[in-house]
Structure 1
Amino acid sequence: MTAPPLDLDGVLTFVRVADLGSFTRAAEALATSQAAISLRLKRLEDRLGTRLLDRTPRHVAVTRQGAQFLPAARRLLEAHDSALAEVAGTVPARLSLGISDHVAGPDLPALLRRLGLDGAGLVTEVRIVASRDLATAFDVPGEGGYDAVILRTEAASGHDGTVLAEERLGWFAAPDFPAPHAGEPLRLAGLAGPCNVRGAATRVLDTAGLPWTEVFVGGGVLAVGAAVTAGLAVAALAPSTAPPGAMEVGARLGLPELPRTWIVLRARRLDGRAAQALRALAAAYRNPGGR
């Protein structure tokens, strides 16, 4: 007797939970309930005869068997999407997405790949832009505008968007970055042009009466992170965008506390593949501070 085929909803649910590490985030990404997520996973595990996930109230981890199944599950979903696109013969949907440079972070390429935003049926245009410019551009509809923007702001309300996460900025430097001598200005790295994070950093330093000098201006957070890693300067960054190996040095250098910030999603009404992709990406950015 031929074994029954796998349920694609169950396979998709498993992939989303594995990628997002959370039943709550997976439910948000798939626009369903946690109860439905649990039921789909149980049916898939019963069908495969093995446990794919270990879950506790605070932790979700892929089992050894789940890790073995995950690549095949991704290929199955990709083949399914490709088959539907071939039969339909329709023009792929488009998603024009703007992400703040101080939100994207070094993990953005892996995040986009993991969440299947490169799958069949969707063309995704992603532009990395300063938060201030994104907020202005989103308010101008029409050709060439954004379908959605994810930006960082110092205000938790008043932005007509959905808060995804809350993060306090920190002072990041290489582990061996030396403390300035008495009266010596703090060496800073920051983004070029108007930048809310740079403005917050210089504002708190000026308020505290601490001298500073800008020694490196980068065209993006990755460039600023490179200057930090090279030991050239200190930079105000969100922990999620700090380069690997950098350390929070505010306490060691006696620097003032930086403000809290919020990651905010603003989106137009979307449907179909574009809406699915945006829900998945938004869920990945969520943390307990989001709402």
Structure 2
Amino acid sequence: MIMRPLDLDAVQAFVRIAELGSFTRAAEAARTTQSAVSLKLKRLEERLGCRLLERTPRHVALSAQGASFLEHARELLEAHDRAFAVLAGARQRLTIGISDHVAGPELPELIARMNAQDPQLLIEIRIGSSGDLLQSFDRRELEAVVVRQHVGRSDGEILTEEKFGWYAAPNWQHRAGEPLPVATMPEPCGVRVLAGQLLDEAGVPWTEAFVGGGVAAVSAAVMAGLGVAALARRMLPFGAINVGPTLGLPELPRLPVLLHSRVRDGRPRDALVALSAAFRSAVRD
């Protein structure tokens, strides 16, 4: 008996629901309606003759059959994308998000390593905050992200851990009796949250002296003498000094850098392996 092929749009809808844990978020990622996503899933379940998801008003979970089918569904979609790219004569594209707190002076080297791995692979890199990039990754707008460890997330592959310190311009001095002026990135930056928590726990009065849209802006504020900032060593502006021990500030921990990826094989996976190896080498203390 010849079996009817599966509807790839329905398979895609199922994978999105499973990965995002929500019909609403799956519809947003597909730029369609929740009812359209629900209909596609219903047709797929009817075609397979089993229930793939268990639904309640507040919860979506994989059934036993859905858990078994999920990996095969991903492989089917990846095979389709590879075949389509070959027949269309198009270059494969790898879209990566890199946190601004992670993309340091080694970024050109990292890009060069990926390009050397596969010059025919079209690499697109987006820079942003870890929280924003993770949201884009969950919406399937990015295939991989390299970010700081984010509160509430336990997934991802640890690439390295970096030491942070409290840095200021060499001629900067803290005025006695005044709150510590701190230059930070805007919320929901995880480094900002951690730094504030540690200062509060240590009983150190502090105030925002500058809020920048990226590490480069924060570093510029530090060197302009506006205050101190929690920065990784490799992100330091030239001449900045660690004033933490002198001011008795709480020690900052080593913070993990993680790779979140749904790329599992092929040329994009090889490029990510090259990126991971280059990154571990670049940030080694």
- Classify the TM-score, shorter chain: 0.5 to 0.7
Equivalences, count: 198
Whether the 8 Å contact between 1:165 and 1:287 is mirrored in structure 2 is: no
- In the alignment, which residue of structure 2 is the partner of 1:100? 99
5 Å-filtered alignment, 1:6-155, equals 90-113=89-112, 115-116=114-115, 120-141=119-140, 145-153=141-149
Whether the 8 Å contact between 2:117 and 2:274 is mirrored in structure 1 is: no
Q: Which protein has greater RCO, CA pairs closer than 8 Å, 6+ apart?
A: 1
Give the direction of change, closer, same or farther, for the CA distance of 1:260–1:279 in structure 2 (3 Å limit): same
Q: 2:225 & 2:117 partners in 1: Cα distance?
A: 36
3-state secondary structure, aligned to 1:215: strand
Question: After superposition, what is the alpha-carbon deviation per residue over 1:98-149, rounded to whole angstroms, capped at 9, x for unaligned?
Answer: 11111112332343235536963122111111112222322223xxx11101
The structure 1 segments of at least 4 consecutive aligned residues displaced by more than 6 Å after TM superposition are none
- In the alignment, which residue of structure 2 is the partner of 1:279? 273
Give the direction of change, closer, same or farther, for the CA distance of 1:108–1:288 in structure 2 (3 Å limit): closer
Give the direction of change, closer, same or farther, for the CA distance of 1:177–1:287 in structure 2 (3 Å limit): same
Whether the 8 Å contact between 2:185 and 2:215 is mirrored in structure 1 is: yes
Residue 173 in 1 paired to residue 185 in 2? no
Whether the 8 Å contact between 2:130 and 2:150 is mirrored in structure 1 is: no
* TM-score of the two chains, using structure 2 as the length reference: 0.62
Q: 1:169 & 1:255 partners in 2: Cα distance?
A: 12
Residue 267 in 1 paired to residue 242 in 2? no
- In the alignment, which residue of structure 1 is the partner of 2:248? 254
Whether the 8 Å contact between 2:91 and 2:121 is mirrored in structure 1 is: yes
* TM-score of the two chains, using structure 1 as the length reference: 0.61
Q: 1:107 & 1:261 partners in 2: Cα distance?
A: 18
Q: 1:190 & 1:207 partners in 2: Cα distance?
A: 18
Q: 1:101 & 1:289 partners in 2: Cα distance?
A: 15
- In the alignment, which residue of structure 1 is the partner of 2:196? 202
Give structure 2 stretches of 5+ with no counterpart.
Answer: 1-86
Q: Which amino acid letter does the alignment assign opposite residue 94 of structure 2?
A: L
Identical pairs, percent:
50
1:158 Cα shift?
5.7
Residue from 129, 140, 155 that aligns with 1:160: 155
